[in-house]
Structure 1
Amino acid sequence: MSRDAGRLSLILLFAPFALWIGLLIILPQIGIGYISLREKVGINEYEFGFKNYADFAQAAVYRNTLFRTAWISILVTMLALVLGFPISYYIAKIARERSRAALFLMCLIPLWVSDLVRAYGWIVLLRETGVVSTALVSMGVINEPIEMLYNDVTVIIGLVYTVILFMIVPLVSTMQGMDDSLLEAGFNLGGSRLTVFRRIVVPYAMPGIVAGCIIVFMITAGSYLTPVLLGGKNSSWFTEQIYNQFITRYNWEAGATFGVLLLLFTSLVVWLGLRLTGQSLATTVAKDT
């Protein structure tokens, strides 16, 4: 009886999670994959094949947009790591116990508002008549207002600001488990700050680094609002192409194909990253910290 009750409790505990995974992730992905294999041959007439994927391979503009999205996402990931690592190390190993919660709360503040509000906040700051341009003119740094929006730099800044928290959280969780005696031993054995950082801190934090990079890269590659609003007409982001196919052109077959290709391509990049770092999902995002 107790064994059956335990099994029932386990089933009831994981049932909401299983339903969430099945109904909101697995089934939609299966549906998108099914639609991507349909070839429209007439009004409400379809055949199954890979013509949609062949059309994508022949369209250079879509391929270039996918590759451009990928390399900018990788750049954003690297910038988030470079900026987030010192913050994470300070919170985990230097800050006092009482101040850690306050510092973590400060990192959470941007999540209190939506992506749309944050993007418009950058627009208010960086547009031609915005706060930054007006301040530079008043200080005599520039002679006339300049437009700082609608370029890759602005898009990258907005994306880094949006995703850096998702880099900080796994890094803090990982480095909090590092014993301070490891650092003391490194210094006692004659290691410099750079040597201790390279030989002790980075290897220990590698699971958190990889986990943060995976999360940040996937979020960045799948972002829509920030690249479109901050990049304007100059934004060539792959999710915008997916939106245009679904909503503007009503071409669900092409939109589904683009969605599948984005998922496969980003998964390939993550797999390559894991192979290059010698990590695995079991030791990163699934690590018991």
Structure 2
Amino acid sequence: MMQKDIKRLSLFLLFAPFALWIALLIILPHLGMFYISVREKVAPRVYEFGLENYINFFTEPIYWNTLIRTGSMSLLVTVLALLLGFPIAYYIAKIAGNRTRGALFLMCLIPLWVSDLIRAFGWILLLRETGVVSSSLQWAGLINTPIEFLYNDAAVIMGLVYTVILFMIVPLVSTLDGMDNSMIEAGYNLGGNGPTVLRRIIIPYAMPGIVAGCIVVFMLTAGSYLTPILLGGKNSSWFTEQIYDQFITRYNWESGAAFGFLLLAFTSLVVWAGLKLSGQTLNSTVAKS
């Protein structure tokens, strides 16, 4: 009995900080935000409970159009991050040596050593009208006048892919590293070529890592604020900008809280649909990774 009590106490002490972190920083704030989101301001400092804040979202096209646009661009960023990150992850996991693998991981981690703000300003220095890209094209004689590459969807997509691609690479490397090389060799020995082995062996095996990376990248992209604002400007509205505008500019915390929950519900619905289409579960993807 004494040993069982000690084990229970040890387990409790081990998980207590995590449980407090979940309760104090996630559950309670979300409950408070939900409480705010269902309040309607009928007079100064007078509130009633209702769904008016959610109804206003669906009755105003600019709000739900921005949410749909944010979701579609987030999906595009996720696809591009997968297409760029999969070859890198495969090379790190199956081709590179031990020393090279560490160096490649370090190169992928370097961008995370600085904040999102610094990385965004780095892209501004490259893409602005007097930036490195425009000046280099002029010097090479390819263009006659400076070109502004900022404040459009392409700049936002490049900045976001650069920011989140590491979160695609890590789960892919973790999954591909556990694949036995004999499986790939057997595919070639049975007459398969490169695309066939990739489609029939590598991708099915890496599917848990693919889904886990896509979930993380999509959620981070949809909830991004600094990169779309700095690189897209007024020409690339993001739903997080609408949330910020409700909270800070209009000081309408009720609508801001409702918009936040709508963003959470929308991204969760997309993730659920992705899991259903891929035949995966959270236990076999995110939890496993």
Q: The TM-score by the shorter chain falls in which range?
A: over 0.9
**Structure 1: how far apart are the matches of 2:184 and 2:141?**
48
**Structure 1: how far apart are the matches of 2:105 and 2:159?**
20
1:163-207 CA deviation, whole Å, 9 max, x = no partner? Answer: 000000000000000000000110100011111000000000000
| Residue 42 (structure 2) pairs with residue 76 (structure 1) | no
Paired position in structure 2 for 1:217? 218
Cα deviation for residue 235 of structure 1 reads 2.2
Cα deviation for residue 262 of structure 1 reads 0.1
SS in 1 for 2:283: helix
| Residue 155 (structure 2) pairs with residue 163 (structure 1) | no
Residue-pair matches, total: 288
Paired position in structure 2 for 1:276? 277
**Structure 2: how far apart are the matches of 1:32 and 1:262?**
13
1:9-68 CA deviation, whole Å, 9 max, x = no partner? Answer: 101111111111111111111111111100000111111011111111100000100000
Paired position in structure 2 for 1:146? 147
Paired position in structure 2 for 1:240? 241
SS in 2 for 1:18: helix
Which structure 2 residues correspond to residues 1-289 of structure 1 after superposition, within 5 A? 1-287=2-288
Cα deviation for residue 115 of structure 1 reads 0.1
* Amino acid aligned to 1:121: G
* Amino acid aligned to 1:2: Q
SS in 2 for 1:39: strand
Work out the percentage of aligned pairs sharing the same amino acid. 73
Cα deviation for residue 280 of structure 1 reads 0.3
1:237-272 CA deviation, whole Å, 9 max, x = no partner? Answer: 000000010001000000001000000000000000
Where does the alignment leave 5 or more consecutive residues of structure 1 unmatched? none
**Structure 1: how far apart are the matches of 2:16 and 2:229?**
37
**Structure 2: how far apart are the matches of 1:134 and 1:183?**
46
1:143-169 CA deviation, whole Å, 9 max, x = no partner? Answer: 010100000000000000000000000
Cα deviation for residue 286 of structure 1 reads 0.6
**Structure 2: how far apart are the matches of 1:22 and 1:99?**
41
**Structure 2: how far apart are the matches of 1:197 and 1:146?**
40
* Amino acid aligned to 2:167: F
Q: What's the TM-score once normalised by structure 1's chain length? A: 0.99
* Amino acid aligned to 2:247: F
Where does the alignment leave 5 or more consecutive residues of structure 2 unmatched? none
**Structure 1: how far apart are the matches of 2:195 and 2:135?**
41
Cα deviation for residue 99 of structure 1 reads 1.1
SS in 2 for 1:281: coil
* Amino acid aligned to 2:43: G
